[in-house]
Chain A
Amino acid sequence: MNETGDQAPQFKVEQPGVFSAIQDLGRPGRRIAGVPPGGAMDRFALAAANLLVGNPAGAAALECALTGPTLEILDRCVLAVTGADFEPTLNGRAVPGWTGLFCAPGDRLSFGGRRWGARAYVAVAGGLAADRWLGSAATYVLIGRGGLQGRPLKREDVLHRAGSAPRPLVAGRELPQPYRPPYSTEPELMTVAGPQLGRIKAAGKRLLFGQPWTVSSDADRMGYRLQGPQLPTTGADVVSFGLTSGCIQLPQSGQPILLMADGQTAGGYPVVGGVARCDLTLAAQLLPGESLRFRETRVETAQAEYRSRWAALDRIR
């Protein structure tokens, strides 16, 4: 079912990129059925892209992993590219990220190469039309729902606008660097001690919080398997309990798993920590081979940091 309204054709997909799919801020409230909230991996970047083009923060936009797509613009619009820097170009000329750009029919948005980051976001004024499932346009590939038939973009797809673009179209809104998240190729993620942290004793805790962890090749929207020093074994599994994105599970292998946006909603591995919501944004921009660190943080500190980072988005309006 699509949204109603002025569904003008907006983009024609000339090249889909490695994995580009429609996301929004997800579908909370269905963990009771085993459905994770999903939505954008880098929620800040998706929200910023939307606000830069005059949309509500949670409108449907594109999440483009590893490389950007090539899109032919079919209707005049304002769009914004945020998140990873894949060198966005309009008709071959470099354009700034985190900025509302005016585009005319026949223009071509493409990407040069990866400077840093893992996921770029493209929002268009009016939002993208999408299949909605349980109230959200987020693509959930595991069951093939949401977004564009529950799948990533492919060549020749035509993306429609969800509704009328806000009028007047305003280009040039921007979010300067100091107001963006502190992205890094080796970020320190604020982490709250988890329910079973005690099981790895002081020595294990020192390793968990003291050493860098490398993102393995087994890393996707569900979670990242991490590689690093051998953590002590944690004894028996726990009787299964609820999980959330940011949970750091510790299986018997002694190598942790960081759950991400489409992560499982229940499990029995001990959970040694929970990464703060605002720092999942930083984790979302890591590729296999890159590293991260966990820094133990109090809940209140993590929540205060979340507020302060998201307050930066108020500058856009």
Chain B
Amino acid sequence: MPRAKEAETQAKSGRSSRRFKITPLGDAALYVELGQRVDTALNSRAIKLAQLLQARRDVREAIAGYASVVVHYDPEQITARGLTAAVQKLSGTRADSVPPGRLHRIPVFYDGPDLAETAQTLELPVKELIRLHSETTYRCFMVGFVPGWAFLGPLPERLRLPRRKVPRKQVPPGSVAIATAQTGIYPLPSPGGWHLIGRTDVKVFLPNSDPPCLLRTGDRIRFFPA
């Protein structure tokens, strides 16, 4: 398969920034890296690429990350090398045709246990923190980690702070939290190291739906004070 070889060589040389870096993830998946930045355009390209790959018969699941796609394939239908070449051929694909994601407006009770402390750390009045958090339209860059968890961002610069030094053993579901450049809604009771600034009654994990989540990669989210 000379074509596959050529694609692989080009992928390795990395001369063109458009070329993907493709590496195996175990023996039934490939990791396709588009970049290493949190960037809406990169994320749109990842979503587009995942959509194109998901339509293939030999692909079981194509999962868009912030700036990558993980392609779970059926080794009985295609080789890693063959799929690498096929993915590389799509490297010129533009993301123009990706429609903007659905817009969710999510009511938040800004009364989280960390609200006051977080405002203090950020040297902001609580009111200002709430205003900044709720006047931004966030993007869902990826869904994963635990069922229903959506990575939302980017957070306004003024709201960025590291994770808590000591994570909580149990965070209640519906908690609205921030950390680094991200914000999110805890779908399940779970341990967590983010700063809890509020809570919402909107359920993001929907066990009786399929797929069982409210937020999907590429969706837009706007919080408003309840």
Contacts and interface: CB of A to CB of B under 8 A. Distances in A.
Nearest to A275: B26
Given A33-B211, A274-B26, A277-B28, A143 B147 contact: yes
Contact of A34 (B38, B64, B67, B149): B149
B181 to A, nearest CB: 10
A133 B147 CA distance: 13
Nearest to B25: A274
Contact of A239 (B38, B143, B207, B213): B38
A32 interface: yes
B25 A145 contact: no
Interface size class of A (residues with CB under 8 A): 35 or more
A314 to B, nearest CB: 15
A197 B145 CA distance: 21
A289 interface: no
A219 to B, nearest CB: 17
Nearest to A266: B144
Given A31-B61, A195-B33, A265-B145, A241 B66 contact: yes
Contact of A133 (B36, B60, B141, B207): B207
Interface of B is mostly: loop
Given A34-B144, A142-B146, A266-B142, A244 B211 contact: no
B24 A192 contact: yes
Given A35-B147, A242-B144, A267-B145, A30 B211 contact: yes
B70 interface: yes
Contacts of B69: 242
Interface centre among B37, B70, B72, B216 (most CB of A within 10 A): B70
Contacts of B187: 34
Given A133-B207, A277-B27, A34 B217 contact: no
A185 interface: no
Contacts of B66: 239-241
B63 A274 contact: no
A275 B212 CA distance: 28
A143 B203 CA distance: 14
A276 interface: yes
A104 interface: no
B93 interface: no
B7 to A, nearest CB: 16
A209 to B, nearest CB: 16
Contact of B144 (A264, A276, A277, A303): A264
Contacts of A306: 27, 75
Contacts of A276: 26-27
Contacts of B213: 32-34
Interface in B135-151: 141-149, 151
19 contacts: A28-B72, A30-B212, A32-B63, A33-B148, A35-B147, A35-B212, A133-B207, A134-B210, A143-B188, A192-B25, A239-B37, A239-B65, A240-B145, A241-B65, A241-B70, A242-B29, A274-B24, A277-B27, A303-B27
The 4 closest A-B pairs by CB, nearest first: A266-B144, A274-B26, A242-B70, A241-B65
